[in-house]
């Protein structure tokens, strides 16, 4: 048994380092922290981790909150040659089945957490096109994101409606492709959206838009 202790300490140190550097350890969309039975904790100092769990301190939730209130920045390039910066405040609600799901160990393997990723979401994106006289817009969409459990990258697509007030109001539709960066399955993530805005009543208003920023979902 003494000969096993160095190996156990080495494995615990590696797990602790991984949990610090993986974004997926920040916060799950579905979290079920469970403390392991005492007989399984004999070789670890679990007091600090269990004390934080008992106090209800969730640093991952704070990280997710910062991502949720952080704006996204973008660039719009219209077909008439107009280029403008944009500022958005996206809001999303995950829906659909929980998939995939994985188990994460705590710092010293003292706790386990179940994390689940939901592939569908409803999004609302109010924002501004920035120029001499900023104008507002709002976009509502349905998105689907495929993010394998073992991958740092996720791919997605979305479709929705958009209304903006550049030189008078207009309503159109919008399609997009998404690249999501971050370990599955927990936020925060970094998200790049490349979309095409089309307005049947005003062809000159049609544009390609690139948006990037942190996101919870």
Q: pLDDT under 50 in the chain at which residues?
A: 1-42
Task: Quote the pLDDT of residue 25.
Answer: 34
Nearest to 214 by CA among 184, 187, 186, 191: 191
Task: Quote the pLDDT of residue 121.
Answer: 93
Domain that holds residue 177: 2-215
Task: Quote the pLDDT of residue 178.
Answer: 97
Q: With contact defined as beta carbons under 8 Å apart, do 189 and 215 qualify? A: yes
Domain count, the chain: 1
Q: With contact defined as beta carbons under 8 Å apart, do 212 and 189 qualify? A: no
Full-model pTM:
0.69
Question: What's the CATH number where 26 sits?
Answer: 2.40.160.20
Spatial separation of the C-alpha atoms in residues 103 and 109, rounded to whole Å: 11
Cβ-based neighbours of 6, under 8 Å, separated by 6 or more = none
Cβ-based neighbours of 127, under 8 Å, separated by 6 or more = 72, 74, 86, 87, 88, 89, 136, 137, 138, 139
Task: Quote the pLDDT of residue 16.
Answer: 42
């Amino acid at each position: 048994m003494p000969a096993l202790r160095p190996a156990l300490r080495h494995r615990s140190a590696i797990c602790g380092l991984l949990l610090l550097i993986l974004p997926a350890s920040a916060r799950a969309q579905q979290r079920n922290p469970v403390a392991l039975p005492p007989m399984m904790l004999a070789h670890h100092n679990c007091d600090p981790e269990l004390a934080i769990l008992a106090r209800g301190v969730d640093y991952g939730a704070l990280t997710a909150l910062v991502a949720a209130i952080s704006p996204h920045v973008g660039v719009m390039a219209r077909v008439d040659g107009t280029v403008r910066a944009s500022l958005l405040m996206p809001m999303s609600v995950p829906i659909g089945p929980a998939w995939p799901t994985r188990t994460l160990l705590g710092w010293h393997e003292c706790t386990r957490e179940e994390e689940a990723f939901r592939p569908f979401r409803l999004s609302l994106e109010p924002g501004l096109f920035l120029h001499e006289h900023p104008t507002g817009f709002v976009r509502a969409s349905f998105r689907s994101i495929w993010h394998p459990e073992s991958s740092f990258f996720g791919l997605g697509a979305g479709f929705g409606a958009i209304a903006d007030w550049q030189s008078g109001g207009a309503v159109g539709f919008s399609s997009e492709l998404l690249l999501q960066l971050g370990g599955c399955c927990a936020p925060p993530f970094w998200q790049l959206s490349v979309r095409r805005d089309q307005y049947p009543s005003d062809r000159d208003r049609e544009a390609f838009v690139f948006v990037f920023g942190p996101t919870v979902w």
